[in-house]
Amino acid sequence: MSRADPPSVRIVTELRRRIAAGELRPGARVPSTRQVAKEWGVALATAARALDALGREGLTRAIPRVGTVVAPAGPAAPSPRRRPSVEADASLTRERIVRAAMGIADAQGIAALSMRTVATRLGVPTMSLYRHVPGKEELVLLMADAAMAEAGFPREPPPGWRARLELMMRLQWALYRRHPWLPRVISLSRPQLIPGGMAHAEWALGAVDGLGLDMNTMLHVYVTAVGFVRGTAIELEAENEAEAETGLTSEEWIESQDAAMARIIQEGHFPMLARVSAERNLVFNLGTLFEFGMQRLLDGLAVLLEPPASRQVLDSGTRTHSRMGKSRKGG
């Protein structure tokens, strides 16, 4: 290896040495795309290309929501310097490209995605991708469409608007957990015209149809529901990246801040937070935040969609009293 070698080659050579020397053991996390980019002073795409090359050698494997880890010892894969095969290029399809791209984004984040990294994973020339996909922007749109289509709504919806909306929100939460990059791709103010996403809108609008709402209100109900799920899920990718870089789960990271938190609390400026800090039965994470927020959102929509029975009784009683008063006046 020399300074004349491309940065990606130098990165691969060094990480290969660390694996061979046992500095990185099987199952251990390999530096994340962001860590590699920072350590070697390269672009995220270069870092992703280096990590992908190690994977094609069989030295590492990408695990969704975990990151890239050292693979168990075994036969080495073909050298990353091999020329892309004609057969691989000939069998290329749009679906294969999309699935490869989703695999990269699932394991390494959307920042690691480029047409070149997808081509590297597929073992084909980068330019061959453009015969199937116009560019990265269109590729990301196809990825979002494919991901949203995984929801699989049942043919027979559950009874009631609440059960139907809750089902949609849970399906979306599951999609976002499976594909942490997806919340950043989906737009609420400029919704993409993708069939996979439009199916969610159709389901939600159908859930509140026939309840006396105008179409504008129905649309706001749908966007409010999906906006909550997306807003909570947007933290998933950042959390995965932080865990990959620090090796700490969110709970472990919070515990590591206990001493610093205690020093701030002792100053006496935050009595409510002091009580929170002293509570030993707290359970707080993105999952609990989603569950709590979803139920409260549905409770709020119930005020709009289900007038309280007490209000109906009161209205009925008022009307009865009014009729009785008129009757007495008439008598």
Task: Return the residue matching tokens 């979306």.
Answer: 172
- Confirm whether pTM is higher than 0.85: no
User: What single-letter DSSP state applies at residue 60?
Assistant: E
For residues 176 and 227, give the distance between their C-alpha atoms in angstroms, rounded to a whole number.
Answer: 13
**DSSP string covering 104-146:** HHHHH-GGG--HHHHHHHHTS-HHHHTTT-S-HHHHHHHHHHH
Residue 70 confidence (pLDDT)? 87
Residue 4 confidence (pLDDT)? 55
Q: Cα angle at 279 between 273 and 285, to 5 degrees?
A: 80
323 alpha-carbon distance from chain centroid = 58
Residue 301 confidence (pLDDT)? 94
User: What fold is seen in the domain 7-73+90-133?
Assistant: Arc Repressor Mutant, subunit A (1.10.10)
Q: Where in the chain is the domain with CATH 1.10.357.10?
A: 152-307
User: What single-letter DSSP state applies at residue 193?
Assistant: -
Q: Where in the chain is the domain with CATH 1.10.10.10?
A: 7-73+90-133
Task: Return the residue matching tokens 């008129």.
Answer: 326
Residue 309 confidence (pLDDT)? 59
> Burial, 48: exposed, middle or buried (Cβ in 10 Å; 0-12, 13-18, 19+)?
buried
Tell me which residue of 26, 29, 77 sits closest to 54, measured CA to CA: 77
Phi, psi of 60 (to 5 degrees): -135, 165
CB burial string 162-178: b at 16+ within 10 A, e below:
bebbbbbbebbbebbbe
Residue 64 confidence (pLDDT)? 62
Residue 331 confidence (pLDDT)? 39
For residues 250 and 280, give the distance between their C-alpha atoms in angstroms, rounded to a whole number.
Answer: 16
List the structure tokens of 246: 């620090």
For residues 227 and 187, give the distance between their C-alpha atoms in angstroms, rounded to a whole number.
Answer: 9
Q: What is the pLDDT along the chain (331 residues), one digit of tens a residue?
A: 445 567 878 888 888 888 888 888 888 888 877 788 888 888 777 877 788 778 777 788 777 656 678 888 654 444 444 444 455 566 899 999 999 999 999 988 888 899 999 998 898 999 999 999 999 999 999 999 999 999 989 999 999 999 999 999 999 999 999 999 999 999 988 888 899 999 999 999 999 999 999 999 999 999 999 999 999 999 888 887 777 667 777 777 777 888 888 888 888 888 888 888 887 787 778 889 999 999 999 999 999 988 765 444 434 444 444 444 444 444 3
DSSP H stretches of helix in 247-308: 250-256, 258-265, 271-278, 286-305
Residue 272 confidence (pLDDT)? 86
Q: Are the C-beta atoms of 1 and 36 separated by less than 8 Å?
A: no
User: What single-letter DSSP state applies at residue 29?
Assistant: B
Classify domain 152-307 at the CATH superfamily level.
Answer: Tetracycline Repressor, domain 2 (1.10.357.10)
Residue 143 confidence (pLDDT)? 96
Strand partners, 62: 68
Residue 241 confidence (pLDDT)? 74
List the structure tokens of 162: 């609440």
Distances (CA, A) of 35 to 31, 104, 241, 254, 304: 6, 16, 10, 22, 48
Q: Are the C-beta atoms of 32 and 108 separated by less than 8 Å?
A: yes
